[in-house]
Amino acid sequence: MPSVLDLRGVRVSRQARDLLEGVDLRVEAGEHWALIGPNGAGKTTLLTLCGALGHPSGGTVEVLGERLGRVELRELRTHIGHVDPRHRMLGDNTVAEVVLTGVTGTSDPVPRWEPTPDEADRAVALAESVGLRARVQARWSTLSQGERGRALIARALIADPALLLLDEPATGLDVAAREHLLETVDALRIAHPAIASVTVTHHLEDLPASTTHAMLLRAGRVYATGTSDDVLTSDLVSGAFDFPLAITRDAGRWQARRA
Ligand X SMILES: Nc1ncnc2c1ncn2[C@@H]1O[C@H](COP(=O)(O)OP(=O)(O)OP(=O)(O)O)[C@@H](O)[C@H]1O
What Å distances lie between residue 257 and 203, 237, 238, 247, CA to CA?
11, 11, 10, 7
Do residues 36 and 226 lie in contact, with contact meaning Cβ atoms separated by under 8 Å? no
Q: Binding pattern to ligand X, positions 13-32, x when CB under 6 A?
A: -xx---x-------------
Do residues 254 and 55 lie in contact, with contact meaning Cβ atoms separated by under 8 Å? no
User: Of 158 and 200, which CB lies nearer to ligand X in the complex structure?
Assistant: 200
Query: Per rule CB under 6 A, is residue 37 in the interface with ligand X?
Result: yes
Query: Per rule CB under 6 A, is residue 42 in the interface with ligand X?
Result: yes
As a whole number of Å, the end-to-end CA separation of the chain is 43
Out of 3, 13, 44, 60, name the contact with ligand X by CB under 6 A: 44
Non-local CB neighbours of 4 within 8 Å, separated by 6+ positions: 27, 28, 29, 31, 63, 64, 162, 163, 196
Out of 2, 9, 40, 58, name the contact with ligand X by CB under 6 A: 40
For residues 215 and 204, what is the distance between their CA atoms, to the nearest angstrom? 12
Query: Per rule CB under 6 A, is residue 39 in the interface with ligand X?
Result: yes
Size of the site for ligand X (CB under 6 A): 12
User: Of 15 and 141, which CB lies nearer to ligand X in the complex structure?
Assistant: 15
* Window 171 to 200, contacts with ligand X (CB under 6 A): none
Query: Per rule CB under 6 A, is residue 141 in the interface with ligand X?
Result: no
Would you tell me which residues interact with ligand X (CB under 6 A)? 14-15, 19, 37, 39-45, 202
